[in-house]
Chains A and B, each alone.
Chain A
Amino acid sequence: MDPVITATGVTKHFGAVPALDALDLEVPGGRVVGFLGPNGAGKSTTIRILLDLARADAGEVRVLGVDPRSGPQVRARIGYVAGELRLDDRLTVGETLRSWARLRGGLDLGPAHELCERLDLDPGRKAKGLSSGNRRKVGLVGAFMARPDLLILDEPTAGLDPLVQAEFQILLAEAVAAGASVFLSSHVLSEVQQTADRVIVIRAGRVVAEGDVAELRHAASQPFSAWFADEPPVDALRSVAGVHDVIVRGREVSGVVDGSPDGLVAVLAQHRLDHLLLPEPDLEQAFLSLYEEPVEPKDAP
């Protein structure tokens, strides 16, 4: 499938401050692509340029095959969830959605009603006084109800409870199954790794790494700690392929396993355990170590 977003050499400054530094980006169609980076990395600026809310100083951008500056028509094919959603506080949720439907040329409101039910959003509530999570739901309904070809989502699950986040995952899967592409921006890795099958990492206005989430998960390093009921099998653990940095403290053994933990689990299964810790691998660290730049400590002088 053709890429739905391409950016070549896109540069943007705010005064003397560079926001994007010759950004090159390609988002393949028909997939959920995570756009990951710390606050201030340039994610929102990139999205604003894709939507023609901001203008690049230099470079070329194509969204669904056209320059976003060429006219508003391309935005009829885009659903957008803003990071900071400002609603007209005088309107109810239902009136807000009706207004957006009219501004899109008269959309059928059937999908909006269905989405409100699925996300547990009351259309009769006034926008004024909505929690940040409910405002986020209004944004999600507004983006999905148009059944767009491209969804651009800026921190879409911030403030949502776990049940609604799960429903959001289903909505995303349905949209992709129906042929839509998704570009999901976030500074939270867990949000991206739950939803995306490809990740692009941006730092200081340029893409520093990109790859498939499954590939990363497979290659990532994973810390482990095991508390044995009897004498720990230290030699057997050290001999497992990929296990390193093994530390023994009495009956506790901790270390790191690269790639699949299958061999480690096979050894552990032969012994009686009191407790086992095998947390999620740090994909961001894996990403950067695998592809390009090491992660600089945030508090480094």
Chain B
Amino acid sequence: MTSSPVVELLARGTAAVRRSGFWWAFGIIVFALVNLAFWPSFESSNSLAELEDSMGSLLEAFGAQGLSTPAGYLDGQLFAFLLPLLFSAAAVAMTSALTSGDEDAGRLELLHALPLSRTTLWLARLTSAALVLGAIVVATAVLVAASLAPFSLDEAGYGRVVFATLACGALALFHGSVAYALGGLGSSRGVALGGAIGVLVVGYVVGFVLPIAEALAGARALSPWNWALGEQPVTDGVSPGRLVLLLAVTAVLIVVGTWGVNRRDIRTA
């Protein structure tokens, strides 16, 4: 039995979201593998090339150029939209549940009355959500990478696929940190959840939809989606420089949330 308060906080925090984390992982992995399984039949027909010819700009809005190549298919079907969206939704749901959600329910009051600093308690809660998110991301990366060869997608490159999955995880951590910052500043779970999902959607629009208009192409540089994934993370590779920018902004959000919770009253249920 360990007696470290921080280890206990992490154990309780991860236990609280373990079950929902398992179902998020199950759904995401099944979704990813089903998409990979369609590639052999798409590859043998010309339907994807025809789709690209007819709907080029719409596909660009979904980061799905070059669909007829393994890397382009993976980008379009997984990494440019749906995988980062699902990872981020999981991160926001778990983070807000452990922070503002538990504060709304009055479950943090007794913990705050123990000899634990607010910083320790809230960072442990965020870390718990991040650990479960990390497990979801790693499990997805391993299973997707292991499925590349069976579905004839290994030409895309194992390293690029794994890094693209991890970059999606970094984007999810960023959106979880938005929920953390809003909760730390005193928002209810509803506001934290809605605010973080709003940032997720606006980020996508700024990163992929606005740049379809040439005059707004520069907007892409403002999107966290672009910082994490660029336009096509498997085809082009993930940019370490932009990823560092994403992680730096994430760190700022964590500092803001921690600063906020240290400067306000803890809510009663």
A→B interface (CB under 8 Å): 44, 48, 51-55, 71-76, 78, 80, 82, 84-88, 90, 98-106, 142
Query: Cβ of B264: which chain A residues have Cβ within 8 Å of it?
Result: 55
CB of A51 within 8 A of CB of B112, answer yes
Stretch at the interface among B103-111, B186-194, B222-230, B237-245: B103-111
Given the complex of chains A and B, what is the CA–CA distance between A16 and B269 in angstroms? 20
CB of B115 within 8 A of CB of A76, answer yes
- Contacting B114 at CB < 8 Å: which of A71, A87, A100? A100
CB of B110 within 8 A of CB of A104, answer no
CB of A75 within 8 A of CB of B115, answer yes
CB of A80 within 8 A of CB of B113, answer yes
CB contacts under 8 Å to A, within B1-39, are 1-5, 7-9, 12, 15-16
CB of A103 within 8 A of CB of B111, answer yes
CB of B111 within 8 A of CB of A86, answer no
Known contacts A53-B112, A54-B265, A103-B5, A88 near B117 by CB under 8 Å: no
CB of A51 within 8 A of CB of B12, answer no
Contact bitstring B256-269, A, C-beta under 8 A = 1, else 0? 00000001111011
- Contacting A103 at CB < 8 Å: which of B8, B117, B266? B8
CB of B15 within 8 A of CB of A86, answer no
CB of B3 within 8 A of CB of A105, answer yes
**Total number of B residues with any Cβ neighbor in A under 8 Å:** 30
Query: Cβ of B105: which chain A residues have Cβ within 8 Å of it?
Result: 86
Query: Cβ of B115: which chain A residues have Cβ within 8 Å of it?
Result: 72-76, 104-105
CB of B4 within 8 A of CB of A102, answer yes
CB of B268 within 8 A of CB of A84, answer yes
* B116: interface (CB < 8 Å): yes
- Contacting A48 at CB < 8 Å: which of B9, B15, B120, B265? B265
Given the complex of chains A and B, what is the CA–CA distance between A28 and B233 in angstroms? 67
Given the complex of chains A and B, what is the CA–CA distance between A44 and B109 in angstroms? 12
CB<8 Å pairs between A and B, sample of 12: A44-B268, A48-B266, A53-B112, A72-B117, A72-B120, A73-B115, A80-B113, A86-B109, A99-B8, A102-B7, A103-B5, A103-B8
- Contacting A99 at CB < 8 Å: which of B4, B12, B116, B265? B12
Query: Cβ of A103: which chain B residues have Cβ within 8 Å of it?
Result: 5, 8-9, 111, 114, 116
Known contacts A53-B265, A103-B9, A103-B116, A82 near B4 by CB under 8 Å: no
CB of A86 within 8 A of CB of B110, answer yes
Query: Cβ of A54: which chain B residues have Cβ within 8 Å of it?
Result: 265-266
Closest residue to B2 on the A side, CB-wise? A102
Given the complex of chains A and B, what is the CA–CA distance between A103 and B9 in angstroms? 7
Given the complex of chains A and B, what is the CA–CA distance between A75 and B117 in angstroms? 10
Query: Cβ of A80: which chain B residues have Cβ within 8 Å of it?
Result: 110, 113
Given the complex of chains A and B, what is the CA–CA distance between A128 and B135 in angstroms? 28
Given the complex of chains A and B, what is the CA–CA distance between A86 and B105 in angstroms? 8
CB of B114 within 8 A of CB of A102, answer no
CB of A88 within 8 A of CB of B107, answer yes
